[in-house]
């Protein structure tokens, strides 16, 4: 199936071609026609599957088609909520590319920056607003918004917004929207009981599109664990980074202090590294993310909340320096790599204290994660972790075939994105 068969108009198809998309991803193929038909929709798909285009393309198509109606001019016609500043900016960048040939105005609303331009945009009226709930609530309280003409309401990354405690704000925002006449779209990586309750509260007779196995990471992500005491984690991370195949690496820590400490240790070893977390200013976070995207920074160390807004093409490895507290966070983390049909690898450091959580993760995914020994690195194992070295997962000392995460798992390019260029000059220009 091609984009031409999904009901999109010529202006959008032109933009899609210019962006470089060839074939729609499964979530786009399933969701776009349903949204164009006017249905409320629940979209469930793993990260990196093209969810943003799945809801923005049909929304833009409908908005363009009805732009000629004089009653719609000067009104905010669509509102999208996303949990983090980074995600808002990234959605805006995507929408701007898709709408380059459309007569539509788009504005962003998020914290950490001067609110004056945001107020002006809202008061002047724009077709589409993309916002974080917190800053939007602030501006609504100042009388800057008029949502009487809303035709689309989008909840992006709905599972994370619930995790971050945004539900009360979302409810207040919804009360300011028209009760009838709008389409509500909810997209999430998982369909938990809380999400199901949310859909019953906000959506009307929705269609559901679910792509892939629920709560399972993408098949393109190869997973392994290294059992290591706390004291050896930094040394192990530096050892792994001696391999030039790890050229675009996202490292997760449990705390903001931990992110800064790990980033500082790597920087001392002359490894281009940046940290991103909620204590960093918006400019600092934006610069760190842009340097990572551009390949100027090889390693980005992040906490869970900050990393939710990271949508970077070509991340080769995700490393759980600190193992996540639950299976859902594990799945979200490793979903940062292996995107758009490109292979990736997720490496987790496991201490004796993490064994219980690891078992829960494996039970959730219904698979055992490969225990891997690190060649050329001596780890002083505790008695609690030594069992895995003799387990059935061990294969010839953990060597095995060389894994090349930059190799595409599927030929061609889809709307999920492009392969990012390699870090520095570590690979030949022919790749």
Residue 84, number of CB atoms within 10 A of its CB: 23
pLDDT tens for 108-157 read: 999 988 999 999 999 888 999 999 999 999 999 999 999 999 999 999 98
Q: Where are the beta strands (DSSP E) in 312-405?
A: 317-320, 344-350, 370-371
Q: Where are the beta strands (DSSP E) in 205-360?
A: 207-210, 221-227, 249-252, 273-276, 299-302, 317-320, 344-350
Q: Which CATH number fits domain 3-210: 3.40.50.2300, 3.40.50.300, 3.30.420.40, 2.60.40.10?
A: 3.40.50.300
What tokens appear for 430 in the block?
């022919």
Whether the CB-CB separation of 208 and 42 falls below 8 Å is answered with yes
Q: What is the pLDDT along the chain (431 residues), one digit of tens a residue?
A: 789 899 999 999 999 999 888 889 999 999 999 999 999 999 998 767 788 999 999 999 999 987 766 666 678 999 999 998 888 998 999 999 999 999 999 999 999 889 999 999 998 889 999 999 999 999 999 999 999 999 999 999 898 888 888 999 999 999 999 988 899 999 987 777 888 888 999 999 999 998 865 445 656 789 999 999 999 999 999 999 999 899 999 999 999 999 999 999 999 999 999 999 878 887 888 888 889 988 999 999 998 866 665 667 789 999 999 999 888 788 888 888 876 667 789 999 999 999 999 999 998 888 899 998 887 787 654 333 333 433 433 333 333 333 333 333 333 344 444 444 333 333 333 33
What pLDDT, on a 0 to 100 scale, did the predictor assign at position 70? Answer: 63
The β-bridge partners of 320 are: 252, 348
What 8-state DSSP symbol labels residue 270? T
Closest residue by Cα to residue 332 from 55, 126, 83, 81: 83
What pLDDT, on a 0 to 100 scale, did the predictor assign at position 49? Answer: 79
What pLDDT, on a 0 to 100 scale, did the predictor assign at position 279? Answer: 83
What pLDDT, on a 0 to 100 scale, did the predictor assign at position 400? Answer: 33
Q: Where are the beta strands (DSSP E) in 40-181?
A: 41-44, 78-81, 106-109, 128-131, 152-155
Burial of 254 (0-12, 13-18, 19+ CB in 10 A): middle
What pLDDT, on a 0 to 100 scale, did the predictor assign at position 69? Answer: 65
Provide CATH code, domain 221-398: 3.40.50.300
pLDDT tens for 371-387 read: 988 877 876 543 333 33
Determine the distance from the C-alpha atom of residue 131 to the mean position of all C-alpha atoms in its chain, rounded to a whole number: 16
What pLDDT, on a 0 to 100 scale, did the predictor assign at position 166? Answer: 92
What pLDDT, on a 0 to 100 scale, did the predictor assign at position 379? Answer: 66
What tokens appear for 141 in the block?
């309280």
What pLDDT, on a 0 to 100 scale, did the predictor assign at position 401? Answer: 32
Query: In sequence order, what are the residues at sequence separation of 6 or more whose Cβ sits closer than 8 angstroms to the Cβ of residue 35?
Result: 41, 55, 58, 59, 62, 183, 185
Q: Tell me the chain's radius of gyration from C-alpha atoms.
A: 22
What pLDDT, on a 0 to 100 scale, did the predictor assign at position 216? Answer: 57
Rounded to 5 degrees, φ, ψ at 123 are -70, -30
* Angle at CA of residue 184, ends 179 and 185, nearest 5°: 170
Which segments of the chain belong to CATH 3.40.50.300? 3-210, 221-398
What pLDDT, on a 0 to 100 scale, did the predictor assign at position 413? Answer: 41
Whether the CB-CB separation of 192 and 327 falls below 8 Å is answered with no
Q: Helices (DSSP H) in 157-212: which residue ranges? A: 158-163, 167-175, 193-202
């Amino acid at each position: 199936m091609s984009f031409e068969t999904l009901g999109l108009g010529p202006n959008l198809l032109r933009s899609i071609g210019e962006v470089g998309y060839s074939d729609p991803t499964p979530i786009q193929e399933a969701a776009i026609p349903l949204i164009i038909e006017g249905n409320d929709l629940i979209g469930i798909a793993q990260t990196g599957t093209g969810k943003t285009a799945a809801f923005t393309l049909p929304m833009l198509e409908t908005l363009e088609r009805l732009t000629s109606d004089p009653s719609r001019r000067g009104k905010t016609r669509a509102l999208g909520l996303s949990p983090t500043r980074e995600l808002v900016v990234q959605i805006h960048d995507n929408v701007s590319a898709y709408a380059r040939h459309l007569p539509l105005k788009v504005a962003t609303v998020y914290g950490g920056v001067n609110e004056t331009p945001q107020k002006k945009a809202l008061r002047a009226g724009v077709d589409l607003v993309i916002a974080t709930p917190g800053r939007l609530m602030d501006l609504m309280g100042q009388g800057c918004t008029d949502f009487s003409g809303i035709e689309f309401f989008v909840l992006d990354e709905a599972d994370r917004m619930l995790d971050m405690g945004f539900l009360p704000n979302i409810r207040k925002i919804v009360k300011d929207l028209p009760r009838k006449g709008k389409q509500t779209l909810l997209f999430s990586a998982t369909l938990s009981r809380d999400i199901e309750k949310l859909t019953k509260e906000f959506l009307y007779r929705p269609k559901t599109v679910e792509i892939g196995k629920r709560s399972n990471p993408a098949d393109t992500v190869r997973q392994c664990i290294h059992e290591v005491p706390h004291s050896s984690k930094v040394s192990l991370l530096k050892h792994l980074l001696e391999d030039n195949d790890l050229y675009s690496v996202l490292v997760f820590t449990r705390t903001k202090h931990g992110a800064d400490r790990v980033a500082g240790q790597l920087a001392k070893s002359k490894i281009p590294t940046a940290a991103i977390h909620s204590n960093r200013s918006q400019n600092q976070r934006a610069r760190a993310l842009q340097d990572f995207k551009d390949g100027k920074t090889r390693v980005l160390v992040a906490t869970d909340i900050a990393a939710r807004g990271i949508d970077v093409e070509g991340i080769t490895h995700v490393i759980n320096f600190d193992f996540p507290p639950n299976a859902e966070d594990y799945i979200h983390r490793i979903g940062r790599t292996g995107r758009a049909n490109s292979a990736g690898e997720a490496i987790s450091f496991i201490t004796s204290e993490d064994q219980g959580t690891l078992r829960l993760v494996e039970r959730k995914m219904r698979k055992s994660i490969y225990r891997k020994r690190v060649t050329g690195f001596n780890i002083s194992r505790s008695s609690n972790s030594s069992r895995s070295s003799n387990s059935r997962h061990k294969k010839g000392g953990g060597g095995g075939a060389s894994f090349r995460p930059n190799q595409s798992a599927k030929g061609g390019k889809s709307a999920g994105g492009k392969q990012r260029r390699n870090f520095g000059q570590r690979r030949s220009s022919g790749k």
